[in-house]
């Protein structure tokens, strides 16, 4: 099983980007790149291949679901695991996001001390599912 090491986090709010990046790097030991928009995330993907993409759902311009849909049509990124982060995390909304094909949804506000553990748990489920279906 592949370890989760590199995360690309996309959120339009600077404070959230800073807190999440610090939490994921210091608590989780991950290598994290943080971008403020879907467009910048697409540019970053040209030269840096993360293991996981953590996307804010609501951003100006292209939000998380639109970026996810775009990635699904690109051979280079269609298998890139994606987790959404959102304040809109009612059960129906979470179900809708999962139906799109994202691994999971982390509600905002998030706990910086448990964010890395949450992502690691989501990653392990993803790796176990891939192994069980023969896609790993």
* pLDDT tens readout for residues 49-96: 999 999 999 999 999 999 999 999 999 999 999 999 999 888 999 999
Angle between helices 64-72 and 91-100 (to 10 degrees): 20
Q: Are 8 and 45 in contact (CB under 8 A)?
A: yes
CB atoms within 10 A of CB 81: 19
- Number of separate domains in the chain: 1
Q: What is the mean pLDDT of the chain?
A: 95
Query: Could you tell me the pLDDT band of residue 1, with boundaries at 50, 70 and 90?
Result: confident
pLDDT of residue 136: 60
Domain of 35?
Answer: 6-133
CA distance 78 to 43: 16
Q: With respect to residue 116, please indicate whether it lies within any of the assigned structural domains.
A: yes
Q: To the nearest whole percent, how much of the chain has pLDDT over 70?
A: 99
Q: With respect to residue 15, please indicate whether it lies within any of the assigned structural domains.
A: yes
Helix (H) or strand (E) holding 105: strand 104-107
Q: With respect to residue 1, please indicate whether it lies within any of the assigned structural domains.
A: no
CATH number, residue 24: 3.40.50.2300
pLDDT of residue 24: 98
Closest CA to 61 of 80, 33, 84, 42: 42
Helix (H) or strand (E) holding 10: strand 6-10
Query: Could you tell me the pLDDT band of residue 134, with boundaries at 50, 70 and 90?
Result: confident
Q: With respect to residue 129, please indicate whether it lies within any of the assigned structural domains.
A: yes
């Amino acid at each position: 099983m592949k370890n989760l090491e590199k995360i690309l986090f996309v959120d339009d709010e600077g404070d959230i980007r800073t807190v999440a990046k610090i939490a994921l790097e210091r608590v989780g030991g991950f290598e994290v790149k943080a971008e403020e928009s879907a467009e910048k995330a697409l540019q970053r993907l040209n030269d840096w291949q993360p293991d996981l993409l953590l996307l804010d759902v609501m951003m100006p311009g292209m939000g998380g679901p639109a970026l996810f849909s775009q990635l699904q049509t690109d051979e280079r990124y269609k298998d890139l695991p994606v987790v959404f982060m959102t304040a809109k995390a009612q059960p129906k909304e979470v179900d809708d996001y999962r139906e799109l094909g994202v691994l999971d949804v982390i509600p905002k506000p998030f706990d910086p001390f448990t964010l890395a553990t949450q992502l690691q748990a989501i990653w392990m489920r993803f790796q176990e599912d891939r192994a069980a279906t023969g896609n790993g």
